[in-house]
Amino acid sequence: MKLPVPDVILPADELGHVHFVGIGGAGLSAIARIMLARGVSVSGSDGADSATLAALAKLGARVHVGHDAAHVQGADTLVVSTAVREDNPEVVAAQQSGLRLWPRSAGLASVMEGKRTLAVAGTHGKTTTTSLLTSALQAAGADPTFAVGGDFAATGTNAHDGRGDLFVAEADESDGAFLVYRPFGAVVTNVEADHLDHFGTEEAYRAAFEEFLDRIQPGGFLVVVVDDPGAAALAASAEARGIDTIRVGESSAADLRLGALTFAGNRSAADVTLSGHLALVQGSEGGSCLRLELQIPGRHYLLDAAAALAAGLRLGFAPADLLAGLAGFTGTRRRMERKGEVAGVRVYDSYAHHPVEIAGDLQAARALAGEGRVVVAFQPHLVSRTRIFGAEMGRALEAADEVVVLDVHLAREDPDPSVTGELVAAACRLPADRVSYVEEFDAAPAELVRRARAGDLVLTLGAGSVTELGPRVLDLLGKD
């Protein structure tokens, strides 16, 4: 459901009782956690029970499984997930009662009030980069407030109301939400066409990032990963507007440049050279060399960490503290998350749902697998995305040894019989015996176990229910 952003966004303490429709989701649950920490009265509902609902109830929220008009009684403001339909009974009841109806973006903006916001945007890598930046700032003693689109593996939470003046936020572009915020500092990881169900065209998608530049506060800054052509073009545009722009990446044009990248198992590392403007910020004449180390595998994660490091350095924090925070980061759930090992088969789960993300995670999986094979289960996410990118998804999956493609996870869209996971499987040019389309979700665990053998790595990929497969695969392996 798309709701208009109000002309005036009140701070959270002026919203009265806030009810979240879709409170179990990553975006709304993070806002709810922060409001609860600030003493705001919170309730919410979700279509299914979850550990997130239990955690919010423990923090003081009144939570409901299922949606009912009675749940909004006593509420003053509703914050509504984009996945909620217009005929949701709670939304209808709020409209009839004249309550405030806000989209997620307005709810997040309300808790940003009074903080210096660092907004992390980009087609891919937002959750990991936001988490890495948070970890780095915490190690540097900043205690930022943060709202992330995934749970930290170490703490199991996706938000915290910090005592410091910084607010680190994942700035999602999928519904234009990132154009609501007014960040002091912005990070853009990449700009590649996605979410065309909302934007319509690739040109409109890129134009939204240009508009995002206008949201950066005077005196603020932008960090851009310039290895990505779309992001590099955005950096040039930002500089033309007079925005303090910091380039990062392996590119020779980077102010924070990565070199000598190494990957071993679940670890990644790179040398970091500071030059130009960023070296001057650090009080050096240039050439400063640092060592970046991570406990998560993959080149794309090193680039995410480089962006986080650059933002921390621009804010004036000590390099050693920031690097320690990055080295101590143990990952975010659903981002190359290890689920377990049985019978010599390791199982990982990741959120990748765009061709570029699939390619990055399969590269990381290859490093983790060592001498073993990579067996992947991929679930396309959204009919609209599969229609546009299905062939590219299939091509990206060719980096695996064995591929199982599930049917499309519909999320907020209606089914289309002409757009199924079979489109993705058909585009994958591996030998026919190494690729299968499994229409029935419950048949997928057995198919993965049939293909896997000792030493292999099984990777479940996608933004939907595919995350449920890992434990079922491990259970079946234990019964063989």
Query: Are residues 314 and 191 both part of a single domain?
Result: yes
**What pLDDT sits at residue 202?**
80
In a domain, 1, yes or no: no
Q: Is the pLDDT of residue 284 over 50?
A: no
- Please report how the helices 355-369 and 299-314 are oriented relative to each other, as an axis angle in degrees rounded to 10: 110
In a domain, 109, yes or no: no
In a domain, 2, yes or no: no
In a domain, 7, yes or no: no
Q: Look at the block and give the residue holding tokens 């929220």.
A: 61
pTM > 0.75: yes
Question: How far is it, in rounded angstroms, from Cα 331 to Cα 150?
Answer: 10
- Provide mean pLDDT across the span 176-199: 82
Domain with 30 in it: 12-103
**What pLDDT sits at residue 200?**
65
Q: What is the band of 285 on the pLDDT scale with cuts at 50, 70, 90?
A: very low
**17: phi then psi, degrees, rounded to nearest 5:** -80, 125
Q: How many CB atoms lie within 10 A of CB 10?
A: 16
Query: Are residues 305 and 380 both part of a single domain?
Result: no
Q: Is the pLDDT of residue 283 over 60?
A: no
Question: How far is it, in rounded angstroms, from Cα 380 to Cα 353?
Answer: 6
As beta bridge partners, residue 291 has 271
% of the chain surpassing 70 pLDDT: 95
Yes or no: say if 247 and 275 are a contact pair by the CB < 8 Å rule: no
Sheet holding 345-350, edge to edge: 337-342, 345-350, 457-461, 374-378, 402-406, 435-438
28-42, 265-279, 368-382: least confidently modelled range: 265-279
For 343-392, write each residue's pLDDT tens digit.
Answer: 999 999 988 778 888 888 898 888 888 889 999 999 998 888 888 888 99
Out of 52, 77, 82, 126, pick the active-site residue.
126
| Whole-number average pLDDT of the chain | 90
- Provide mean pLDDT across the span 204-228: 93
Choosing from 276, 310, 328, the residue where a domain stops is: 328
Query: Are residues 304 and 354 both part of a single domain?
Result: no
Q: Which run of H or of E encompasses 196?
A: helix 196-199
Residue ranges of the binding site for ATP: 122-128
Choosing from 283, 301, 328, the residue where a domain stops is: 328
**What pLDDT sits at residue 282?**
59
341 is catalytic: no
Query: Are residues 282 and 362 both part of a single domain?
Result: no
For 300-343, write each residue's pLDDT tens digit.
Answer: 889 999 999 999 999 999 999 999 999 999 877 777 888 999 99
Q: Is the pLDDT of residue 255 over 80?
A: yes
- Extract the tokens encoding 185: 């500092």
The three-class DSSP label of residue 429 is: coil
Query: Are residues 288 and 316 both part of a single domain?
Result: yes
In a domain, 448, yes or no: yes
The single-letter DSSP state of residue 444 is: H
Query: Are residues 236 and 90 both part of a single domain?
Result: no
Yes or no: say if 249 and 306 are a contact pair by the CB < 8 Å rule: yes
Q: What is the band of 286 on the pLDDT scale with cuts at 50, 70, 90?
A: very low
For 59-83, write each residue's pLDDT tens digit.
Answer: 999 999 999 999 999 999 999 998 8
Query: Are residues 201 and 305 both part of a single domain?
Result: yes
- Provide mean pLDDT across the span 33-59: 95
Query: Are residues 360 and 380 both part of a single domain?
Result: yes
126 is catalytic: yes
Query: Are residues 87 and 202 both part of a single domain?
Result: no
Per DSSP bridges, beta strands 221-225 and 185-188 are: parallel
In a domain, 5, yes or no: no
Query: Are residues 99 and 119 both part of a single domain?
Result: no
Length of the chain: 480
**What pLDDT sits at residue 67?**
96
Query: Are residues 142 and 161 both part of a single domain?
Result: yes
For 154-182, write each residue's pLDDT tens digit.
Answer: 777 899 999 999 999 999 877 778 899 99
**What pLDDT sits at residue 277?**
64
Out of 117, 127, 134, 189, pick the active-site residue.
127
253-262, 275-284, 329-338: least confidently modelled range: 275-284
Q: Is the pLDDT of residue 480 over 70?
A: no
Of residues 230 and 193, more confidently modeled: 230
170 is catalytic: yes
In a domain, 214, yes or no: yes
Per DSSP bridges, beta strands 145-147 and 185-188 are: unpaired
- The three-point CA angle 246-352-271 to 5° equals 40
The number of domains in the chain is 3
Choosing from 298, 328, 358, the residue where a domain stops is: 328
Residue ranges of the binding site: 122-128
- Extract the tokens encoding 137: 């700032």
> For position 170, which CATH number holds?
3.40.1190.10
> For position 360, which CATH number holds?
3.90.190.20
Question: How far is it, in rounded angstroms, from Cα 125 to Cα 351?
Answer: 10
Query: Are residues 268 and 292 both part of a single domain?
Result: yes
**What pLDDT sits at residue 210?**
93
Out of 90, 129, 170, 467, pick the active-site residue.
170
> For position 67, which CATH number holds?
3.40.50.720
* Nearest to 146, CA basis, from 174, 173, 124, 116: 116
In a domain, 28, yes or no: yes
